[in-house]
Chains A and B, each alone.
Chain A
Amino acid sequence: MSDPQGYLALVLHTHLPFIRHPEHPEFLEERWLFEAITETYLPLLERFERLCNDRVPFRITMSFTPTLLAMLADPLLQARYVRHLDALIELSAKEIERTRWQPPFHRLALFYHHRFLTARQLYVDTYRRNLIHPFRQLVERGVLEPIASSATHGYLPLMETKPIAVRAQMRIGAQAFEHAFGMPPRGFWLPECGYQPGHDAFLKELGVRYFLIDAHGIVFGSPRPKYGVYAPAICPSGVAAFGRDLESSKSVWSAEEGYPGDYDYREFYRDIGFDLDYDYVRPYLNGDGARLNTGIKYYRITGQTNEKQPYDPDRALEKAAQHAGNFMFNREKQVQHVRSVMDRAPIIVSPYDSELYGHWWFEGPDWLEYLIRKAHYDQQTFRLITPGDYLEMFPTNQVLEPSMSSWGNGGYSDVWLNGSNDWIYRHLHKMADRMTEVATSHRQADALRTRALNQMARELLLAQSSDWAFILKTQSHTAYAYRRIHDHLARFNHLYESVRHGAIDETRLAELEAKDNLFPFLDYRVYAASP
C-alpha cells in the first residue's frame, strides 16, 4: 500500500467505576461489570483476536481506567462473574425449551445460550478469569496501544484549586497502568476529556506523550490552530493534544442520526427480565426482587413505537456491514477533503466509550470488525493508526495552549457541576486539603499509620470519581451514587481523625482495606506538599 492520504485513529475509552461490595452476597451495580464483560470486553477481544489470526493489520487505541483494571483483576468479582454467567446459561437453557413453538424466539434463545457458553469458555478456560492478560497479548501482537487514565476517573477541571489532588489522580493512574501493562503509558485519557490548561504539565512529569481532548479544546486554543483537530497540538509543557473529530463521532454517538438507532439493530429496552412472567424470572433477579435487564433481548428496534418485531441477527449483521462501509466511505471523503487543505496527511481521531460497543449497540463490535477489515481490503485513502504512532511520524507540530473543555453535554463542566451535584465539591476539596495536611505532617509514619494514610488516599480517590456526580445528574441509581460519596467521605473523615489523634482502630482499618481494596501499591506521600 502506498502512503495513504490520511489516518484514522479509533480510540475506545474503557471505564467502569469501582463497584465491589464484599459485604453483600450480590449487588445490583456489580452487574455493570458483568454485563460489560459479556457484552463488550469479550466480544471485542474475540474480534480483535480473529483479525490478528486472519492477518488483517490494524491499530487501535484503548484507554483502561485503573478502577476497571482493579476490578478485572479482583478474585471476588471474578468468581461472582462466573456465578452470574452460570445463572444466564441456566436461564437461556430454559428459554430454549420455553420457546420451542416460537421459531423466531427459539432461534434467539439458542443464540444467547451459545453466546453465554462461549463467554464462559473464553473467560474461564482461555483467559483464566483475568481479561488484562488477553489485552496485554494484543499489545504484544502489535495491534493495541493501551493508554492510561486518572486513578478513579476524577473530573480534573473541577479540582483546579487542588493541583496536588490532580497530580495524584494522574500519578496513581499511571502507576496502575504500569502494574497492568508492564510499561509506562505513552498516552493518557483525561476523564470526560476534561482539560484544564496547565494540567498537561503533570502528564509531562509522568513521561506521557499525548492525551485526548474534545474538538473545541483545540479549535479554541491559542494561538489559532492551523490544522484544527486534524493534527495534534503541542501544549506549552511539550505534551501533545489530539482533538476529537465531531463528524465521525456523531455517526456513532448520536441517538437520532447515528447507526445504533437503525431499526434492524437489537432493541436494548426489551429484555426478558421485564417481559416474562415474574415467577419464572425471579430466580435470576437480585435479592430485592426488582426486575432488571438479564441481557436476553429478543426484539429489534423496529420503529418508534412499542410494537417490536423479533430480532434477526443475520439481518442485523448485514446492516452492520453496510454501516461499516458507509463509515469508511465518509472517512475517505473526509480525508480527501482535509488533505486538500493541509500540506500533510491529517489524522482523524474518533474516540468512543468502549461500552457503547456491544452493551448499548449490540452489533457495535461486529461493525468495528467489518470496518477494520474493509479499511484494509477495500480502500487506500486512509490507514488506521494510533495517536502515538502519528506523533512518531510527524514529530513537528504547532505549539498552542488548548482551551478548557470536556466532552460532556454542553462541552464544559455543566454535567458535573449543577444543582443536582454541586454540593459535593466543598467536601471533595476539603478532603484533598486534609489529605495534603496529614501527608505533609506525616512524611515518616509507622506501619499502622502508613496503612491508615494510604487508605485515606483510597477513600479520597474513590469519592472523586466523576461517575457519582454524573449519576446524580442523570436521576437513575442516584441513591447509590449518594451513598458512595457519603461512605467514602465518612470513611475518610474517620481515618483523618484517627491519624490526627494517633488512635487508629486496626480492626476498622482492616475492614476498610478489605472493602476498598484497590491500588495496593499506593503511597500517600504523593499528596505531601513540596517542602
Chain B
Amino acid sequence: MRRRPASATRTRRPASREPKPAISATGATPATRTPPSVSPPPAHSVHSHPAAASHPVAPEEKFSIPTGYGDDLIALMVKDPFWLYAYWEIQPATERAARSHLLPSEIPGLQSILRVYDVTGIHYPGQPAHRFFDIGLSGLATNWYIQTDAPGRSFIVEIGLLTKGGKFLLLARSNRVTAPRWGPSDVIDEAWMTTDDAYWKLFGMPPGIGGSSPSAWGRLIAQQLSSAGGSSVGFLGPSKPAAVRGFWCRVNTDLIIHGATEPKATVVVQGQPVVVRKDGTFSLRVALPEGTQTIAIDVTSSNGQHTRTITPIVNLTWSGNLASDPSKTKSSAPSPSRPSGPEHA
C-alpha cells in the first residue's frame, strides 16, 4: 500500500439518519454486494472527514520501507521442524572485496551459495560441522526457505561465493538455530518413569500403537494440529467453512408509508405511534409480507379537535419460485393491540 493519493480520499456525506423517503422495493444497491460466503469487505477503511481538517492531524507517513540497511548479514529463523528461513543483505563492496582474493581463472562460473551446516552439539566454526549442503542462489534472491528435514538438529548458514574449483569465500555467517523435535524425547527421567503403554494410554491410544516411533507420533500430532489451533486475532475468528455454493438470489419487499401533517399532530399507524418530524413529515418503513395489509393511519391535530383516518390497503402477491425464504411465507399483520414497537422493547 502506497501513500494514498489525495484524490482517493472519500468524504462522508452529511449523515441523514432518516430512511430515504423514496424507495423502490427491488432497487439495485449502489454498493458492491458481497455474497455472504466471501471474506469480509476489503480494508478500504481509511477515509477522512472534512471536519477532521480542524484537528491537528499528523501527515501520513511518507512511504519508506527501506530496501536495505547497509549491513552484511544473514539471519536464520525456524519455520517448523523441517524448514528454516534465511534472509540476508550483502553490500556489493563486500562481495567485490571477496572477489579480489581470487585468481582471474577462478572468476568464471563463480556462484553465490548458501552453505547449510549441521552443527548439532558443536561449536562451529571452532569445530567442524557434522555435514553441510549447498544451495545455489540466483542473483536477486535476498531470502530463502531451506528444507533441512532434520527435526531436533542445530544449524548455521553461511552465504558466500563458490568457485568452480570448490573454493568457498565467506561473506556472512548466520546465528545458530535448533529445529524443534518432532516426536517424543528418548530421554527418560528415572524419577518420572513411565511405561510406553501407560504413556500411550494417557493419550487415549491403544497400547503398542507404535512404541515411540516418530512417524506414528508425527501422524498423530499432524492430525491433531490440523484440526485444532487457535488463531492470531481471535476476533477475526476461525476460517469460515466453505458453504455449498451455487447460483442464488434474494428478493425482499419493503413498504414505505410517508406523509405530512401539521408539526405537532399525532400520527398512529395500526395503533402504533409514529414520530412526526419538526417539519410535519413522517415516514415508516415496513417489511411487506405476501397477502393483504389493511393499514389504518389515524392523524390527530395537536389540539385534539381534528381527526382523520386514512387506510391504504396493500395487496402483495408473489409469483415465481420463492424457495424457502421465510419472509415470503404468508403471515398476516399483527392485530393493532399486539405489543410491538420500540416503546415496548
Chain A positions near chain B (C-beta within 8 angstroms)? 13, 15-17, 22-29, 32, 35-36, 90, 93-94, 96-106, 110, 113-114, 117, 157-158, 160-161, 192-193, 197, 215-216, 219-228, 230, 246-247, 249-250, 253-257, 261, 268-270, 274-280, 283, 286-293, 304-307, 309-310, 337-338, 341-342, 351-356, 359-360, 398-400, 403-405, 407-418, 422-423, 425-427, 429-430, 466-467, 469-471, 474-480, 482-483, 486-487, 489-491, 493, 508, 511-512, 514-515
B334 touches A306 (CB 8 A): no
Contact of A224 among B188, B203, B333 (CB under 8 A): B188
For the complex, what is the distance from the CA of A466 to the CA of B52, rounded to whole Å?
Answer: 30
Known: A97-B284, A97-B341, A279-B19. 15 other contacts (CB 8 A): A23-B55, A113-B342, A193-B230, A278-B29, A278-B31, A280-B285, A286-B47, A290-B41, A306-B36, A352-B234, A407-B228, A408-B230, A418-B79, A508-B58, A515-B58
Choose, from B64-72, B91-99, B116-124, the stretch at the interface: B64-72
Taking a contact as CB atoms under 8 Å apart, the answer to whether A476 and B39 are in contact is yes
Given A101-B293, A490-B64; A413-B56 close (CB under 8 Å): no
Contact mask for chain B residues 326-345; partner A; CB cutoff 8 A; 1 contact, 0 none: 11000111100000111011
Q: A480 CA to B287 CA in the complex, in Å?
A: 37
The B61-115 residues at the A interface (CB cut-off 8 A) are 61-66, 69, 71, 75, 77-81, 85, 87, 89
In the bound complex, what is the Cα–Cα distance between A192 and B300 (angstroms)?
Answer: 63
Contact of B78 with A160 in the complex, beta carbons under 8 Å: yes
Are B1 and A479 neighbours in the complex by a CB distance under 8 Å? yes
The interface size of chain B toward A, counting residues with CB under 8 Å, comes to: 129
Indicate if B193 sits at the interface (CB-CB under 8 A): yes
Judge whether A274 and B1 touch: CB under 8 Å.
no
**Separation of A77 and B106 alpha carbons in the complex (Å):** 65
Contact B287 A223 (CB under 8 A): no
Across the A-B interface, how many residue pairs have beta carbons closer than 8 Å? 385
Q: Which of B8-16, B157-165, B258-266, B303-311 is found at the contact surface with chain A?
A: B8-16
A240 to chain B, nearest CB (A): 15
Establish whether residues B51 and A25, one from each chain, have CB atoms under 8 Å apart when the complex forms.
Answer: yes
B308 CB to nearest A CB, Å: 21
Contact A411 B231 (CB under 8 A): no
A–B Cβ pairs within 8 angstroms, 18 of them: A90-B17, A94-B285, A97-B284, A98-B286, A98-B287, A101-B293, A197-B178, A215-B224, A250-B227, A280-B254, A291-B41, A305-B243, A307-B325, A400-B185, A403-B181, A411-B229, A412-B78, A414-B79
Asked if residues B183 and A416 are in contact (CB atoms below 8 Å), the reply is: no
Within 8 A of A (CB), among B1-40: 1, 10-12, 15-20, 23, 27, 29-34, 36-37, 39-40
A430 to B75 Cα, complex, angstroms: 11
Are B286 and A255 interface neighbours, CB within 8 A? Answer: no
**B143: interface (CB < 8 Å):** yes
A156 to chain B, nearest CB (A): 12
Q: What 1/0 mask marks residues of chain B from 287 to 312 whose CB sits below 8 Å from any chain A CB?
A: 11100010000000000000000000
The yes or no answer to B177 lying at the interface (CB within 8 A) is yes
For the complex, give the distance between the alpha carbons of A341 and B17 in Å: 64
Give Cα A412–Cα B87 distance, bound, in whole angstroms. 19
Q: Is the CB of A220 within 8 A of B181?
A: yes
Which of chain B's residues have a CB closer than 8 A to the CB of A414? 79-80
Q: Does B236 contact A (CB under 8 A)?
A: yes
Chain A residues, Cβ within 8 Å of B193:
226
- Taking A223-B185, A224-B185, A411-B221 as contacts, is the C-beta distance between A13 and B233 under 8 angstroms? no
A488 to B216, CA, bound (A): 45
Q: Which residue of B lies closest to A257 (CB)?
A: B227
Interface of chain B, helix or strand or loop or mixed?
loop
**B320 contacts chain A at the CB level, 8 A cutoff:** no
Whether A287 and B10, one on each chain, are in contact in the complex, defined by CB atoms closer than 8 angstroms, is yes
> Is B235 on the interface with A (CB-CB < 8 A)?
yes
Which residues of A have CB within 8 Å of B85? 417, 422
| Inter-chain contact A98/B285, CB cutoff 8 Å | yes
Residues of A within 8 A of B182 (CB): 220
* A525 CA / B325 CA spacing, docked (Å): 63
A15–B11 CA distance with the chains assembled, in angstroms: 32
Chain A positions within 8 Å of B89 at CB level: 426
Q: Does B313 contact A (CB under 8 A)?
A: no
Which of chain A's residues have a CB closer than 8 A to the CB of B29? Answer: 277-278
CB neighbours of A508 from chain B (8 A) = 58
Q: With A101-B289, A117-B345 as given contacts, are A493 and B181 in contact (CB-CB < 8 Å)?
A: no
Tell me, rounded to whole Å, the shortest Cβ–Cβ distance linking A201 to chain B: 16
Pairwise interchain contact A29-B43, C-beta atoms closer than 8 A: yes
Question: Is B324 in the interface zone, CB < 8 Å from A?
Answer: yes
Interchain CB contact under 8 A, A269 and B240: yes
Q: Hey, which chain A residues are within 8 Å of B230, CB to CB?
A: 13, 192-193, 253, 351-353, 407-408
Pick from B75, B199, B201, B341: contact of A426, CB below 8 A.
B75
Q: Determine the residue in chain A with the shortest Cβ distance to B341.
A: A96
Q: Which of A158, A216, A228, A514 has the most CB of B within 10 A?
A: A216
B237 touches A101 (CB 8 A): no
- Please determine whether A24 and B46 come into contact, CB atoms closer than 8 angstroms: yes
Min Cβ gap B340→A in Å is: 5
B125 at the interface (CB under 8 A from A): no
Measured CB to CB, the nearest residue on chain A to B50 is: A25
A409 CB to nearest B CB, Å: 5
How many whole Å from A235's CB to the nearest CB in chain B?
A: 14
* Contact, CB under 8 Å: B235 / A355: yes
Task: Please tell me if B166 contacts chain A, counting CB pairs below 8 Å.
Answer: no
Q: Which residues of B contact A101 (CB under 8 A)?
A: 286-289, 293, 331-334
Are B202 and A359 in contact (CB-based, < 8 A)?
no
Residues of the B chain whose Cβ atoms lie less than 8 Å from the Cβ of A289: 10, 31
CB distance from B28 to the nearest CB of A (A): 9
Determine which of B18, B43, B63, B202 lies in contact with A227 in the assembled complex, contact meaning CB atoms within 8 Å: B202
* A371-B135 Cα distance, complex, nearest whole Å: 55
B140 within 8 A of A: no
When the two chains form the complex, which single residue of B47, B186, B228 contacts A287, counting CB atoms closer than 8 Å? B47
Shortest Cβ distance from residue B67 to the other chain A in the assembled complex, whole angstroms: 10
Known: A278-B31, A408-B232. A220 touches B184 (CB 8 A): yes
What's the Cα separation between A277 and B334 when bound, in Å? 24
Least distance between A294 CB and chain B CB atoms (Å): 13
Q: Please, which residues of chain B bring their CB within 8 A of the CB of A403?
A: 180-181
Which residues on A sit within 8 Å (CB–CB) of B287? 98-99, 101-102, 105
What 10 A-B pairs come out closest when comparing CB atoms? A353-B234, A470-B232, A28-B45, A222-B185, A278-B29, A287-B12, A412-B80, A490-B61, A511-B58, A223-B189
Tell whether B42 is near chain A: CB-to-CB under 8 Å.
Answer: yes
| CB nearest to B235 among chain A residues | A355
Chain A nearest CB, measured from B293 CB (Å):
7
Partner of B36, one of A99, A269, A512: A269
